[in-house]
Amino acid sequence: MAVEIKAPSFPESVQEGTLASWHKSAGDQVSRDELIVEIETDKVVLEVVAPANGVLLEILKQEGDVIQSNELLARIEEGATTAPTAANTSDATPSAGQVAATASSDDVSAAINPAAKKLAQERGIDVADVTGTGKGGRITKEDVVNFEPATAAAPETAASAVDTAVDEPSAEHGERVERRVAMTRMRARISERLLDVTQTTASLTTFNEVDMTALMNLRTQYKTEFTKMHNGTRLGFMGFFVKAAVEALKRFPLVNASIDGKEIVYHGYQDIGVAVSTERGLVVPVLRNAENMSIASVENGISEFAGKARDGKLTIDEMTGGTFTITNGGVYGSLISTPIINPPQTAILGMHKIQERPIAVDGQVVIRPMMYLAMSYDHRLIDGKEAVRFLVTIKELIEDPAKILLEI
């Protein structure tokens, strides 16, 4: 019996998606809950798994096709253990087993996953040079990602060196190679949103610096005990910054608000988005009701989000909403930057690299671990005075972390 494979139901915030990659070809054996195809939306990559055991009978949508909610993608012959007959798969891609049985040395590159083939084309890689680690020697996307071209052997003689110099152009006089790759749907959407922010908000950034000495000493003193007490959760700085932001948002509710037409929406909760960079682009999962979370639960939540982001497992719901965002460019070495507001929010906090610098303390020059803070805000709603006071509040809380723990 043929079983249909359909795209998942998209939430209201997602209109459509793009079929990113097939992980199986027509004629391949599949198992229930095995990943079959990925659909990329504006916000996240959705995984579609096999609904039953059987053989992938036919593929109805190709990579790059625009996909609607619940649209039919393919069919599985439930319970089948062999590939469908040629009559049923005249347009289907041969399976790895079929290729292995019939391919000659000239067409061995056919034993490759569609996603891997597409990536190889984008990177200009000859798949004949790639060693497949998949079933039956099939080349997977990971094989292409990890592929490193062999370094050409050095000339054995002076004559061969001369021949090489004559026959092949040098780097100085050789051809200039360009490669054009279409933007992914997610990257295109990020580009569109960021450009829209610069054109539709009155964005302004205020800066300050924070002495990290007290917080670093506290972390050094308790990080081992903290990890043991909280089942392996690592004690970082982000937990303190999230809790400091929550307290500052309570004191300055306009920073936690958003603009809806000609109305101001005040949010009676603090949903903090934490920006996470992935290979596909920047994503912002949200810590719901961060005002009710402990530092341990914040750190654990961020760790889980980071893992999901790396594996492409974040859901749309986990990245929807948020009343305020924190981004940390310091993990990549950024000393100072002007973060872009994440609409419909009206402010964002940027953390940066901790760097030892000489500062004046009580009339004396001392060396302290300092971090620049940046707060970008929508000047249509937030005045400069309020923005500066908000950032100073975060500075004061971080420099005296006992206030965060005591909620004072």
User: How many CB atoms lie under 10 A from the CB of residue 166?
Assistant: 8
* Residue 117 Cα to chain centre, angstroms: 22
- Rounded Cα distance, 103 and 82, in Å: 19
Distance CA 99, CA 110 (A): 7
Residue 139: count of CB within 10 angstroms of its CB: 25
Three-state secondary structure string covering 276-326: EEECCEEECCEECCHHHCCHHHHHHHHHHHHHHHHHCCCCCHHHCCCCEEE
Nearest to 124 by CA among 181, 71, 51, 56: 181
| Distance separating the N- and C-terminal Cα atoms of the chain | 65
Give how far the C-alpha of residue 203 lies from the chain's centroid of Cα atoms, to the nearest Å.
25
Q: Could you list the active site residues?
A: 379, 383
Q: CA 338, 303, 407: angle at the middle one, nearest 5? A: 75
Whether residue 30 contacts residue 80, with contact meaning beta carbons closer than 8 Å, is answered with no
Per-position DSSP letters for 175-242, written without gaps between them? PPP----PPPHHHHHHHHHHHHHHHHS-EEEEEEEEE-HHHHHHHHHHHHHHHHHTTT----SHHHHH
Q: How far is CA 6 from the centre of its chain?
A: 25
Coil, strand, or helix at residue 29?
strand
Contacts of residue 316, defined as CB under 8 A and 6 or more positions apart, other chains included, come to 10, 11, 13, 14, 41, 43, 44
Q: For the stretch 8-18, what's the b/e string if a residue is b when 16 or more beta carbons lie within 10 angstroms of its beta carbon?
A: bebeeebeebb
Phi–psi pair at 178, nearest 5 degrees:
-120, 150
